[in-house]
Amino acid sequence: MKIYTKTGDKGETSLIGGKRVPKYDDRVEAYGTIDELNSHLGLIRDLLEDEKTREIVLDLQNQLFVAASIVASDSEETMKKMPQISPENISSLELMMDEMNEDLPQLKNFVLPGGHVLASQAHIARTICRRAERLSLKATNADIEAVNMVTKYLNRLSDFLFILARQFANKNGIGDVLWEPQKL
C-alpha cells in the first residue's frame, strides 16, 4: 500500500464517509489538532519510565483516535458507525484525577508551565487539548450525541493533563511553579 494518493494535491481531502472538503475546513483543523495532541502524548509516553502511567497515556492516545474519527466523519450516520467515546471514558478520567489530586498540595495560586520536562510537555498537551476542544465545537454540531461526548472528553482530558503536569512536577522534586503577580 502506498501512503500517498495524490488526491489532495489540489487542496482538498476526504472526510470519513467520502465527502471532499478543502484542507482548511474547520473539521480538518479540528481533527488535525486532535492528531497534534496525540503526537504530544506519544512524546510524554516515550519520556515516561513508569509503566502504569505509560499504559494510561497509551489508552488516552487510543481514545483520541476515536475522537478524531468522530470529528472527521462527514455525517451523523457515518459517526454512528465509528467507535464511540462513552460516559465511562469521561468517568475514568475523573476518577484518575481524583486519585492523583489526593497526593498533590492544595493550589492557592495559578501554576506556570514548567519545572520538569514531563510537566512542561503535559502543559503543552493541555493547551493543545483546549484548542482541539474549541475547534471541535466550532466545526461540528454539538447537538449530535457523539460530538457532544467528544467535546466533554476533550474538556475533561485537558483537566486531567493539568493534574498530570502537577504530578510530574511534584514527583520529580520540583513542585509547582507558581505564578507570582507583580514580581517585576
Instruction: Check whether 183 has a pLDDT greater than 90.
Output: no
Q: In terms of Cα–Cα distance, which of 36, 33, 37, 28 is closest to 139?
A: 28
89 against 145, higher pLDDT:
89
pLDDT of residue 184: 60
Domain containing 92 equals 12-178
Answer for the pair 36, 27: CB distance below 8 angstroms, yes or no.
no
Q: Has residue 6 been placed in a domain?
A: no
Q: How many domains does the chain have?
A: 1
The CA distance from 117 to 36, in Å, is 18
SS3 173: coil
Locate 160 and state its grid cell. Answer: 486531567
Locate 159 and state its grid cell. Answer: 483537566
Q: Has residue 127 been placed in a domain?
A: yes
Answer for the pair 157, 175: CB distance below 8 angstroms, yes or no.
no
Angle at which helices 117-139 and 145-171 pack, to 10 degrees?
170
Q: Has residue 37 been placed in a domain?
A: yes
Instruction: Check whether 173 has a pLDDT greater than 70.
Output: yes
Instruction: Check whether 78 has a pLDDT greater than 90.
Output: yes
pTM: 0.93
Q: Has residue 3 been placed in a domain?
A: no
Element (H, E) at 163: helix 145-171
CA dihedral 111, 112, 116, 121 (to 10 degrees): 100
Instruction: Check whether 104 has a pLDDT greater than 70.
Output: yes
Angle at which helices 26-47 and 51-71 pack, to 10 degrees?
170
Q: Has residue 5 been placed in a domain?
A: no
Element (H, E) at 61: helix 51-71
Instruction: Check whether 82 has a pLDDT greater than 70.
Output: yes
Q: Has residue 1 been placed in a domain?
A: no
pLDDT of residue 21: 95
pLDDT of residue 8: 82
CB atoms within 10 A of CB 20: 13
CATH number of the domain enclosing 81: 1.20.1200.10
Q: Has residue 183 been placed in a domain?
A: no
Q: Has residue 39 been placed in a domain?
A: yes
